[in-house]
């Protein structure tokens, strides 16, 4: 196969990749507010309030013993590190556009996962 | 017979064709050495808490057992070597060291791979460094896990493939190249024993082989030799049925026959694949982009795209190799349900780093082109660009160091040392999880000569004799998760030991007691006020313990309470004591438990404070109250 064909195919592929990426990005952005839109309810028995402050009780940094569905985005969160216990680290830097992703392990394949331990608070809401 | 090859057009001919020379080897060693130093300084000192597989992999490697699916035979053997050859530290530390060593070697391999793309030495070194300081990889290089060692396997395989391609371009004798191709095939098959996800790169390698040397199909003996070499590498999976009886606690079908072997290897996680709807693809892709930015920054994302274009132009066959590898990983991610998303991309991030390097190479080439014949200007601008990149990488490395420094993480070891001291003889200890995730206790008994006068429930699936009046202890996050056929029914859970992680809690199971309803995890916590209590030293030698007795006045649901020793907040938990008094608007709850004093605290006396977390008005605050002192000698 000639270099010309390979380069042409690469150019088309890369153009498609960039176009797809731009489309994907825009499709998950709330165009009104310029923020990420939640794609689904947060799962696993998690209280999902006004997305303003996030208190995460995790087993370790970035490893949540909680099910946050992979299609879920939590919008516009500010992490409070008031409680900075080693067992309660925040999930790294959360910010608009960053998904909270659960890492955990089911008790058995296909079985339920460990309990939810993530609480999301909004001002004045309980 | 025509033999195709890349003809890079903009890189000087010396760079195009020269083999890896001594200077490159020195650069690779220097990069690997720097990475190793950083990983060693931030290495977990014992059992790695992060990454639930670490204790299991340590036990399996040190005893030549069988790891959880997909078996990881090559990793197991390397782990056995590490645990038996390295004369320093605990078994767990030696396994962590294996991650650091092979991870650092992987960083060096990335440089060598980049040089064969081809790439100028400076962008190649920057690409390797960018990968070495990327936060996900660093996090894996300081714990016991398969991902960092697999980067070495992946880099080595890639390097062998590119070396073969260079040989095809240079060497008119197919036989010599075909031997190199067979060696690549052997390494590729062997890499499955590090992580079977490398199988996903097969289409990319196959396409690359045909693009570089389509004539190989007309040399059946060469193809047969490569296939045999590949199968020889894959033959390590015979280890699985040989050792199928070793680990009977993991809830998978044992790989004792062909069906079991399939389910244990390529058939594993079958339910997770294509679990997400097609409409979720845009969000998944955006998630992936966010992960790339996390590891390489926005600049890395832009450089990566530029690098793709650059490589497609100067070395289209190599571009397609890397692009297909990347596309296979990202494509698989689009519809796969993954819990550990970040580590899924540890391997494909190698390709991203190479694209970033190619992007930097494009910048270098652009500078050369823009400055025309002025070598001095080109050198000055190139140096400035390289310095800017180094400054950015230094910042990223500093952040990654802070984020991944596990050098003081003794939580898991502290907990099991204390738990093994506390559990009385003739009792049953039920560690958290089964199989891979219940192995920390097995490790402790194995590696530290732990007591054998109590039953370890997950130890080779030994069923506890439930008819005898045994005392059950359980380490679990949520007692309702402890659902075993033999577990005591209607048992109440009383916490007796708390460690420095939320699930490092030891409960005593009170048999024949109707349990209190466990508070649903989504219920908002109530308010708590410390109205009395004491801190009593239990043990001052590491791991030190104090006994906490706390009286909480509770309004509403049980509050979340927390403990601080010195300046370190060591734990927080949902208040779970006995109600000793009830008033119209409140209750008084008494908690009694031992608390582990983290071993990373210095010797001396440390003040202990108890606090209740207050969520009023949407703000999170802790009201602390001094309760006593903890002593470490």
SS3 of B142-177: the string is CCCCCHHHHHHHHHHHHHHHHHHHHHHHHCCCHHHH
> Are B285 and A21 within 8 A, CB to CB?
yes
- Stretches in chain B below the pLDDT threshold 70: 1-20, 50-51, 246-253, 270-277, 279-280, 283, 337-340, 432-438, 450, 458-492, 502-503, 511-525, 615-620
Size of interface A-B (CB pairs under 8 A): 198
The answer to whether residue B411 neighbours chain A at the CB level (below 8 Å) is: yes
Contacts of A113 in chain B (CB under 8 A): 339
Contacts of B317 in chain A (CB under 8 A): 6
Q: How far is A114 from chain B (nearest CA, A)?
A: 7
Q: How far is A97 from chain B (nearest CA, A)?
A: 7
- Of A6, A117, A124, which has the smallest distance from its Cβ to B502's Cβ? A117
Closest by CA to B601, choosing from B533, B540, B536, is: B540
Q: How far apart are CA A41 and CA B268, in angstroms?
A: 28
The answer to whether residue B279 neighbours chain A at the CB level (below 8 Å) is: no
> Are A47 and B524 within 8 A, CB to CB?
yes
Residues 315-354 of B with CB under 8 A from A: 316-317, 319-320, 323, 337-342
The answer to whether residue B501 neighbours chain A at the CB level (below 8 Å) is: yes
- Of A13, A63, A82, which has the smallest distance from its Cβ to B622's Cβ? A82
What's the pLDDT band for A29 if we cut at 50, 70, 90? low
Q: How far apart are CA B328 and CA B306, in angstroms?
A: 20
> Are A62 and B289 within 8 A, CB to CB?
no
> Are B569 and A21 within 8 A, CB to CB?
no
pLDDT of residue B291: 81
Closest chain A residue to B135 measured between Cα atoms? A92
> Are A85 and B570 within 8 A, CB to CB?
yes
- Interface mutation target, options A86, A106, A120, chain B, most CBs of B under 10 Å: A86
Closest by CA to B509, choosing from B496, B495, B491, B497, is: B491
Contacts of A65 in chain B (CB under 8 A): 477, 502-503
pLDDT of residue B360: 95
Highest mean pLDDT among A43-57, A62-76, B425-439: B425-439
B63-79 burial, b for 16+ CB within 10 Å, e for fewer?
Answer: bbbbbbbbbbbbbbebb
Strands B472-475 and A118-121 come out as unpaired
The answer to whether residue B408 neighbours chain A at the CB level (below 8 Å) is: no
State how far Cα B346 lies from the chain centre: 9
Q: How far is A43 from chain B (nearest CA, A)?
A: 11
Contact B568, B578 (CB under 8 A): no
> Are B571 and A87 within 8 A, CB to CB?
yes
pTM summary value: 0.82
pLDDT of residue B10: 38
> Are B280 and A39 within 8 A, CB to CB?
yes
- Of B285, B500, B620, which has the smallest distance from its Cβ to A55's Cβ? B620
| Helical H segments across B174-280, by residue range | 174-191, 202-212, 220-234, 239-242, 258-264
> Are A86 and B503 within 8 A, CB to CB?
no
Q: How far is A39 from chain B (nearest CA, A)?
A: 8
Q: How far apart are CA A57 and CA B477, in angstroms?
A: 12
Q: How far is A33 from chain B (nearest CA, A)?
A: 17
Contacts of B298 in chain A (CB under 8 A): none
The answer to whether residue B29 neighbours chain A at the CB level (below 8 Å) is: no
Given a cut of 70, is residue A53 above it in pLDDT? no
> Are A82 and B320 within 8 A, CB to CB?
no
Tokens standing for B361? 């190479």
Q: How far is B29 from chain A (nearest CA, A)?
A: 31
Is B63 strand, coil or helix? helix
The CA distances from residue B54 to A106, B51, B59, B260, B326, in Å, are 17, 6, 9, 24, 27
> Are B522 and A23 within 8 A, CB to CB?
no
Residues 186-245 of B with CB under 8 A from A: 211, 214
Contacts of B316 in chain A (CB under 8 A): 3, 6-7, 10
Residue linked to tokens 């003996």: B221
pLDDT of residue B483: 44
Instruction: Write the pLDDT tens digit of every residue in B120-138.
Output: 999 999 999 999 999 999 9
pLDDT of residue A51: 26
Contacts of B252 in chain A (CB under 8 A): 109
pLDDT of residue B553: 93
Q: How far apart are CA B461 and CA B471, in angstroms?
A: 18
Q: How many CB atoms lie within 10 A of CB A34?
A: 8
Strands B472-475 and B428-430 come out as parallel
Residues 243-262 of B with CB under 8 A from A: 251-252
Contacts of B276 in chain A (CB under 8 A): 70-71
Closest by CA to A64, choosing from A88, A85, A82, is: A88
Contacts of A124 in chain B (CB under 8 A): 617-618
Contacts of A52 in chain B (CB under 8 A): 618
Tokens standing for B374? 């002025």
- Of B312, B499, B572, which has the smallest distance from its Cβ to A88's Cβ? B572
> Are B433 and A110 within 8 A, CB to CB?
no
> Are B569 and A88 within 8 A, CB to CB?
yes
> Are B618 and A24 within 8 A, CB to CB?
no
pLDDT of residue B260: 86
The answer to whether residue B502 neighbours chain A at the CB level (below 8 Å) is: yes
> Are A117 and B621 within 8 A, CB to CB?
no
Contact A47, B522 (CB under 8 A): yes
The CA distances from residue B80 to B61, B68, B255, B436, B439, in Å, are 5, 16, 21, 17, 17
B217-244 burial, b for 16+ CB within 10 Å, e for fewer?
Answer: eebeebbebbeebbeebbebbebbbebb
pLDDT of residue B455: 75
- Of A7, A21, A115, which has the smallest distance from its Cβ to B477's Cβ? A115
Indicate whether this complex's ipTM tops 0.85: no
Tell me which H or E stretch contains B120: none
> Are B522 and A46 within 8 A, CB to CB?
yes
Instruction: Write the pLDDT tens digit of every residue in B513-555.
Output: 555 555 544 455 678 899 998 999 898 888 899 999 999 999 9
pLDDT of residue B133: 97
């Amino acid at each position: 196969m000639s270099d010309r064909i390979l380069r042409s195919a690469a150019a088309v592929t890369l153009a498609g990749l960039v176009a797809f990426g731009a489309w994907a990005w825009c499709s998950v952005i709330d165009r009104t507010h310029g923020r990420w839109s939640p794609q689904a309810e947060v799962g696993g028995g998690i209280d999902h309030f006004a997305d303003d402050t996030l208190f995460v009780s995790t087993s370790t940094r970035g490893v949540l013993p909680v099910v946050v569905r992979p299609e879920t985005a939590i919008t516009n969160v500010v992490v409070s590190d008031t409680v900075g216990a080693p067992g309660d680290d925040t999930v790294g830097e959360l910010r608009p556009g960053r998904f909270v992703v659960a890492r955990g392990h089911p008790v058995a394949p296909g079985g339920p996962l460990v309990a939810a331990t993530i609480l999301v608070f909004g001002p004045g809401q309980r | 017979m025509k033999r195709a090859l890349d003809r890079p057009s903009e890189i000087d001919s010396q760079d195009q064709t020269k083999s890896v020379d001594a200077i490159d080897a020195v650069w690779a060693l220097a990069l690997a050495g720097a990475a190793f130093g950083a990983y060693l300084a931030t290495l977990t000192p014992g059992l790695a808490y992060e990454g639930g597989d670490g204790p299991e992999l340590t036990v399996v490697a040190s005893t030549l057992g069988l790891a959880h699916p997909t078996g990881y035979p090559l990793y197991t053997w390397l782990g056995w070597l590490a645990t038996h050859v390295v004369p320093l530290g605990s078994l767990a530390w030696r396994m962590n060291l294996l991650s650091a060593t092979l991870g650092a070697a992987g960083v060096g391999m990335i440089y060598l791979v980049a040089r064969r793309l081809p790439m100028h030495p400076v962008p190649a070194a920057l690409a390797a460094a960018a990968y070495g300081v990327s936060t996900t990889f660093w996090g894996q290089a300081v714990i016991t896990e398969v991902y960092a060692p697999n980067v070495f396997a992946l880099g080595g395989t890639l390097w062998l493939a590119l070396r073969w391609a260079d040989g095809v371009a240079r060497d008119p004798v197919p036989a010599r190249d075909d031997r190199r191709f067979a060696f690549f095939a052997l390494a590729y098959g062997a890499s499955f024993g590090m992580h079977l996800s490398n199988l996903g790169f097969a289409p990319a390698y196959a396409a690359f082989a045909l693009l570089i040397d389509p004539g190989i199909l007309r040399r059946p003996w060469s193809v047969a030799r490569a296939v045999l070499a590949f199968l020889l590498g894959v033959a390590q999976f015979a280890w699985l049925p040989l050792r199928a009886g070793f680990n009977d606690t993991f809830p998978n079908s044992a790989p004792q026959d062909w069906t079991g072997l399939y389910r244990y290897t390529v058939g594993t996680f079958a339910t997770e694949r294509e679990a997400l709807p097609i409409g979720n693809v845009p969000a998944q892709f955006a998630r992936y982009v966010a992960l790339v930015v996390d590891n390489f920054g926005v600049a890395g994302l832009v450089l990566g795209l530029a690098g793709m274009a650059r490589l497609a132009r100067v070395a289209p066959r190599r571009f397609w190799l890397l692009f297909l590898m990347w596309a296979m990983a990202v494509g698989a991610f689009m519809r796969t349900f993954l819990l550990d998303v970040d580590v899924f991309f540890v391997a494909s991030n190698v390709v991203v780093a190479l694209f970033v390097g190619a992007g930097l190479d494009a910048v270098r080439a652009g500078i050369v082109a823009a400055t025309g014949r002025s070598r001095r200007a080109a050198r000055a601008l190139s140096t400035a660009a390289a310095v800017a990149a180094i400054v950015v990488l230094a910042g990223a490395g500093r952040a990654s160091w802070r984020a991944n420094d596990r050098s003081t993480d003794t939580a898991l070891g502290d907990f099991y040392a204390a738990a093994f001291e506390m559990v009385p003889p003739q009792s049953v200890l039920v560690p958290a999880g089964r199989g891979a995730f219940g192995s920390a206790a097995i490790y402790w008994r194995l590696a530290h000569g732990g007591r054998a006068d109590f039953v370890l429930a997950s130890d080779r699936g030994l069923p506890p004799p439930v008819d005898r009046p045994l005392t059950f202890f359980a380490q679990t996050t949520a007692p309702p998760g402890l659902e075993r056929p033999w577990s005591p029914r209607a048992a109440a859970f009383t916490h007796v030991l708390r460690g420095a992680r939320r699930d490092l809690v030891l409960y005593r199971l009170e048999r024949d007691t109707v349990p209190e309803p466990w508070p649903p995890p989504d219920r908002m916590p109530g308010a708590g006020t410390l109205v009395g209590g004491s801190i009593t030293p239990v043990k001052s030698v590491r791991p030190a313990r104090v006994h906490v007795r706390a009286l909480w006045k509770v309004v509403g649901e049980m509050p979340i309470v927390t403990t601080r020793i010195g300046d370190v907040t060591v734990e927080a938990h949902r208040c779970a004591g006995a109600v000793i008094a009830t008033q119209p608007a409140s209750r008084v709850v008494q908690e009694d438990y031992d608390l582990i004093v983290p071993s990373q605290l210095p010797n001396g006396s440390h003040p202990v404070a108890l606090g209740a977390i207050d969520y009023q008005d949407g703000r999170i605050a802790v009201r602390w109250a001094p309760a006593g002192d903890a002593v470490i000698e």
